[in-house]
Amino acid sequence: MTSWTLAIRSLRFHARSHLGSLLGAAVGSGVLVGALVVGDSVRGSLRAMAISRLGKVELAMASNDRLFRQKLADDIGASLDATTAPVLQILGTATTGDADARANRVHVMGVDQRFWELAGDPPSFSAISPDSVVINRALADQLQTKTGESLLLRVRKPSALSQDAPLSPSEDTLVAVRLNVQAVVSDSEFGRFSLHASQIPPFNAFVALPTLASRAGVTNQANLLLIGPKRGEGNTAITLDSATKALRENWTLADAELKLQELPNGNGAELRSDRVFIDSPASRAAFAADSEARGVLTYFVNEMRIGERTTPYSMVTAMGAPIVPEEMAENEILLNQWLADDLGAKVGDELTMAYYVVGLARALEERRETFRVGGIIPMQGAAADPTLMPDFPGLTDAENCRDWDTGFPIELSQIREKDNAYWEEHRGTPKAFVTLAAGQRLWGNRFGDLTSVRFGDQAVGTDLERQIRDALDPASVGLQFEPVRESALAASSQSQDFGQLFLGFSFFLIIAALMLMALLFQFGIEQRTSEVGVLLALGFKPGKVRLLFLREGAVIGIMGGLLGVFGGTGYARAMLYGLSTVWRDAVGTSALSYHASPATLIIGGVSGAGVAILTIWLALRKQARQPAHQLLSEGPADESPSLSGAGWTKRRTDLISRLCLIAAGGLIVLTGMPEGLAGAETFFFAGTLLLAAGIAQCASILTSLGASGTSAKIAFAHLAVRNATRKRKRSLATIGLLACGSFLVMSIGVFRLESGAGAAKRSSGTGGFALIGEATHPVVQDLNTQSGRDSFGIDSANLAGVEVVPFRVLDGEDASCLNLNRAQKPRLLGVQPELLAKRGAFTFAKVVEEAPLEDRWLLLKSGKQATVVPAIGDQASIQWALGKKVGDTLDYTDEQGNEFKIRIVASVANSILQGSLLIDESAFIERYPSTSGYRMFLMDAPGEKMEIVSKVLSRALRDFGLEIEPAVRRLAAFNAVQNTYLSTFQVLGGLGLLLGSVGLGVVVLRNVLERRSELALLLAVGFGSNALRWCVLSEHGVLLLLGLGVGAVAAFVAVLPAVIAPGAQLPYVSLTLTLALVLLSGIVWTWVAARFALRGKLLDALRNE
């Protein structure tokens, strides 16, 4: 005989009465386990998605606008003994053959067999034929197309020279390719391939690599290199280090778009770039390879003028020896004979030069600079060198000046016959020379400040190429491997924790289940008062007695935990079903699958059992407190306090009630009434206070009713109310549970985010912008200017009153609530902060250092240190998607491979800026010079013109894949996530309330059973049994109504702002339904309990006395 034997014996004997508690414990644990399993499932699904989107790819090198040789992949693959695949990845748009359906942001990828070898499952086709395209499921669905139909893909030709660069040609960089759909690949066949973590599948179109490369004019080049293990091999150790080493061993200057060329006439060699301007890391490497090397910068000038005579459109070279003497002053210029003749120049004349520089938004700015003619040189030798002109696309190949494509306006009428003749004979031979210092000052730009580096004779013999390569870090020219698999797994494992989220949502349900369990357990024990009494009489200490019962409770808790593990998996499946159907907005995907790790089940079961045991322990604390003799003779006594005690209790509860009431009223009046400023939070808080006041008032009423002396006339209704007061605490607990539950479920709706109201205000989540546009291809023209609009053939009348704030975009991960993964490197947007500051757009949530209200956007310009770039983002994105806070920093790598930090200096509240971080445009350009143009636009448009503006712009910029939507709608999509969470909470909270109403039934049963003899007496003195049932029903109906009523009134105050807000759409129907259901369930349970308790021969109870 041990305490455990006793516990087991008791459990078996009282099994039936424990069944209810066990069910309660099982429900509590089940909901807890289920919530955790939902977390597992979301994480597991994201992990599965990560694995399917990356297949076997371990490392990837995405060089974006920079192109490397496809052969580099072969060479690295051989070195590493791994599968490597070169990919040409270009963003494009796709339309069906009949142009009915359209998809923007299509990832068009030129791939070959090696790509498919890296897929998780090998696809069904052997190779993509040259005139075909393979698309993924998402694109097929978007286009409503299938195998055999034709597609038109429009991609932007990758050009070495950024479209933002000076002298970049404006030639149509879009190519359209018509292809037949050869196959639709499934997700596991790499259909989901993407380097970015998102649960929303991308649009992918796969084309044969040679086809895409040649159509895009970049034959044999690629911009994405994937590495994975060899077929049939597991995870061989392909490390980032080994890949980087292989890259360094195998790359050539061509992979950095550089070339080393012999100069004519054995004059040595020079380094040039396909990008025209040589990246500064490359030029530094060139100087490191040969200390004698000299820089050259040749630029296109619009006009040179001496007095009235002008020469149009000429090349001018800035350099040193052998042409420009070292001692020449910066303001001096040397003219060749032809130019001197043309201008009639002589030494000492003043020459004015006009040239274009590119400002922000590709705004061309003509600048002028004055030089003094320092000399005139003959056109021979080094001075007659046409190779001094870099390979300007659009110029180099032109036979005739009239064929020039310069990307900026050229007055053809100014070009004289002699100019054309010069071009035909001398091509781009510079007509004038200035010092390198002067040239770099005038024409240096973010792409570089040299067009060539020239090496001396003595250097040419040596292995120059090798030396330059060795001195150049491939990362600094955009060639860098990323451990994509590692970060993908990190992104999924650090994803939004739905386990915690659902634990929160299910909180009330768990509480209700546990309360029910405790209630039933207590009930069971109170049926055994004499057992308690005898144990006490036998010399058990009260604590020991409680411990004995706790053992029983522990077994129930543990069994409940075990049952909960089974039930919980079912609950999780139900929640997952909900998430992929009615609550789909919260996850944005229906592809969630069930995952549960043993650890989660164990942790869930153990904590479920633990919480149940703790609850039982709390419920037991009041047990075995009464004297043994009383327990042995009568059972538990009423809690009706003595008169004096009641007075005190009543005074106390009254005081609490009044204080809460005053605080609630004061809160609203003080903070809000004058300007109608009281925010939703204020009202919510006031509502909470009101709830407390209501419950305290109920307590006070119960106390005073309970203590009032025997009234002379026992009206029947009185009897009911009086009865409710008998078990004051029990009644109060019921009222409290129902009140809190109904309050929570109803008032939580106030946090529903409304996107419609006040959307036109600058302070709203739309920033007051009417439209938001996103383009697939960068738009370099300024849509605010006449010329910009003209270049798209837009009738300006349509755009009257329209202003556009353009954003540069560095693709990264979506860090909005629409992405469940923890974003590792969110998308960066470059913007001119002044444009937002002058509008006072958006509302700031947090600011790292106090800045004047109107200047907060200018914080983006505050970080003057070279290594830290200030950024502003959406508060929700920063907090949830990034797991950061204002003041934190993120690591980024710029285009040249330099690490830098982005520091979040402020956040805006609940806005369309979710998902990205905003930085100053000039900082953006500095870090990512070759990311050209603008791809996101916020637009101001008069309300009534919104539709036409959006139509006109989308049509005009169709080839850029511009998608425009109302900012309100975008905000609503973000809000839908939070609103769905709230709905989930309401649904689960409603379930909890239902369970709570079952608890009411239990209370009824207890009350009635304890009073059987009293009720029997009433029967004996002539009350009808129907009347008795009504008595019981109305007595407990009072509790039900009081609880729901207090909750509802408090909730009404809490949601008042939402109710009176114009255009508010409260879920009246679902709320009323919930309340009605709870009321109904409460009544049903009360009725069932009353029936059950009053059944049998009541009068027997009397006789037993």
Calculate Rg over the CA atoms of the chain.
Answer: 39
Residues 822-861 close enough to bind another protein by CB under 8 A: none
Regarding 146 and contact with another protein (CB under 8 A), the answer is: no
The alpha carbon torsion through 77, 81, 83, 84 (nearest 10 deg) reads -20
Rule CB under 8 A: choose which of 323, 535, 678, 1094 binds another protein: 535
**Using CA atoms, how far apart are residues 538 and 554, in angstroms rounded to an integer?**
24
268 in the Ramachandran plot: left (φ > 0), alpha (ψ -120 to 50) or beta?
left
Shortest Cβ 627–another protein spacing (Å): 6
Q: Which stretch binds another protein (CB under 8 A): 5-13, 104-112, 1060-1068, 1084-1092?
A: 5-13
538, 637, 712, 797: which one binds another protein (CB under 8 A):
538
Contact, 494 vs 822, CB < 8 A? Answer: yes
The amino acid occupying position 1100 is D
541 binds another protein (CB under 8 A): yes
Q: Is 556 helix (H, G, I), strand (E, B) or coil?
A: helix
Rounded CA gap, 369 and 875, in Å? 48
Choose which of 232, 461, 539, 1022 interacts with another protein (CB under 8 A).
539
Phi, psi values for residue 483, rounded to 5°: -80, 75
What secondary structure does DSSP assign to 1047-1102, as a single string?
HHHHHHHHTHHHHHSTT----HHHHHHHHHHHHHHHHHHHHHHHHHHH-S-HHHHH
Examine residue 13 and tell whether it contacts another protein (CB under 8 A).
yes
Rounded distance between C-alpha atoms, residue 965 and residue 774, angstroms: 9
CB of 523 to another protein, least distance (A): 18
Binder to another protein among 178, 367, 544, 838 (CB under 8 A)?
544
Q: Is 200 in the site for another protein (CB under 8 A)?
A: no
Q: Binding mask 548-577 vs another protein (x if CB under 8 A, - otherwise)?
A: x-----------------------------
Nearest CB to another protein, comparing residues 172 and 638? 638
Give how far the C-alpha of residue 764 lies from the chain's centroid of Cα atoms, to the nearest Å.
Answer: 19
Closest approach, Cβ 698 to another protein, in A, equals 26
Residue 392, sorted as left (phi over 0), alpha (psi -120 to 50) or beta, turns out to be beta
In this chain, which stretch among 198-206, 313-321, 539-547, 700-708 interacts with another protein, using CB under 8 A? 539-547
Q: Where in 877-981 does DSSP place strands (E)?
A: 889-893, 899-908, 916-920, 934-940, 963-966
399 secondary structure, DSSP code: S
Q: Which of 31, 165, 208, 536 binds another protein (CB under 8 A)?
A: 536
Residue 774 belongs to what H/E stretch?
A: strand 771-779
**Per CB under 8 A, does 17 bind another protein?**
no
Which residue, 18 or 935, has its beta carbon nearer to another protein?
A: 18
SS (H, E, C) 998-1037: HHHHHHHHHHHHHCHHHHHHHHHCCCCHHHHHHHHHHHHH
Q: Which of residues 5 and 124 has its CB atom nearest to another protein in the complex?
A: 5
Pick the binder of another protein from 14, 427, 901, 945 (CB under 8 A). 14
Binding residue (CB under 8 A) for another protein from 3, 414, 867, 1025: 3
| Residue 526 binds to another protein (criterion: CB under 8 A) | no
Q: In the bound complex, what is the minimum distance in angstroms from residue 1064's beta carbon to another protein?
A: 56
Minimum Å gap between C-beta 9 and another protein is 4
By CB under 8 A, residue 778 contacts another protein: no
Nearest approach in angstroms of CB 543 to another protein is 8
CB of 540 to another protein, least distance (A): 4
Which region among 8-16, 98-106, 336-344, 878-886 touches another protein (by CB under 8 A)?
Answer: 8-16
In angstroms, give the least distance from the CB of 12 to another protein.
7
CA pair distance 492, 45, nearest whole angstrom: 9
Residue 1081's identity, in one-letter code, is S
Helices (H) and strands (E) in the chain, counts: 35, 29
Binding to another protein, residues 666-685 (CB under 8 A): none
When the beta carbons of 118 and 525 are compared against another protein, the nearer one is 525
Which residues have a Cβ under 8 Å from the Cβ of 1001 and sit 6 or more positions away? 1082, 1085, 1086, 1088, 1089
Nearest distance, CB of residue 527 and another protein, angstroms: 12
Asked whether 503 and 984 are in contact (CB, 8 A), the reply is no
Determine the Cα–Cα distance for residues 1032 and 1026; give it in Å rounded to an integer. 10
Q: How far apart are CA 1025 and CA 1022, in angstroms?
A: 9
Q: Interface with another protein by CB under 8 A: which range of 394-402, 535-543, 657-665, 879-887?
A: 535-543
Q: Which of residues 396-455 bind another protein (CB under 8 A)?
A: none
Binding-residue pattern over the window 588 to 627 for another protein, x denoting contact by CB under 8 A: ---------------------------------------x
In the bound state with another protein, the residue whose beta carbon lies nearer, of 217 and 627, is: 627
Q: Nearest distance from residue 538's CB to another protein, in Å?
A: 5
Q: Is 982 in the site for another protein (CB under 8 A)?
A: no
Site string for another protein, 626-655 (x = CB under 8 A): -xxx--xx--------x-------------
What is the DSSP secondary structure assignment for residue 445, as one 8-state letter?
Answer: B
Distance of CA 334 to the CA centre of its chain: 58
Indicate which single residue of 51, 415, 471, 537 sits in contact with another protein (rule: CB under 8 A).
537
DSSP 8-state code for residue 106: E
Q: How far apart are CA 174 and CA 154, in angstroms?
A: 6
Which of 531, 811, 834, 965 touches another protein by CB under 8 A? 531
Considering only 440, 445, 530, 889, the residue that binds another protein (CB under 8 A) is 530
Residue 4 vs 716, nearer CB to another protein: 4
Number of residues in contact with another protein under rule CB under 8 A: 30
- Does residue 5 belong to the site contacting another protein (CB under 8 A)? yes
- Rounded (10°) CA dihedral 472, 478, 480, 483: 160
Shortest Cβ distance from residue 621 to another protein (Å)? 16
| Closer to another protein by Cβ: residue 91 or 548 | 548
Bin 127: left if φ > 0, else alpha if -120 < ψ < 50, else beta: beta
Closest CA to 917 of 896, 934, 892: 892
Measured from the CB of residue 980, what is the shortest distance to another protein in angstroms? Answer: 50
Stretch near another protein under the rule CB under 8 A, chosen from 12-20, 259-267, 929-937, 1054-1062: 12-20
By CB under 8 A, the residues from 894 to 953 that bind another protein are: none
575-613 per-residue burial string, b: 16 or more CB within 10 A, e: under 16: bbebbbeebebbbbbebbeebbeeebbeebbebbbbbbb
Assign 3-class secondary structure to 283-328.
Answer: HHHHHHHCCCCEEEEEEEEEEEEECCEEEEEEEEEECCCCCCCCCC
Provide, rounded to whole angstroms, the least separation between the CB of residue 712 and another protein.
15
User: How far apart, in whole angstroms, are the C-alpha atoms of residue 127 and residue 138?
Assistant: 21
- Smallest distance, another protein to C-beta of residue 8, A: 9
Please report whether residue 527 would count as binding another protein according to CB under 8 A: no
- Contact status: 346 vs another protein (CB under 8 A): no
Q: Check binding of 137 to another protein (CB under 8 A).
A: no
1087 interacts with another protein by CB under 8 A: no
Q: How many residues does the chain have?
A: 1105
Q: Which is nearer to another protein, 15 or 599 (CB)?
A: 15
Q: Determine, following the binding rule CB under 8 A, whether residue 716 of this chain makes contact with another protein.
A: no
Provide the binding-site residues for another protein, judged by CB under 8 A: 1-3, 5-6, 9-10, 12-14, 530-531, 533-542, 544, 548, 627-629, 632-633, 642
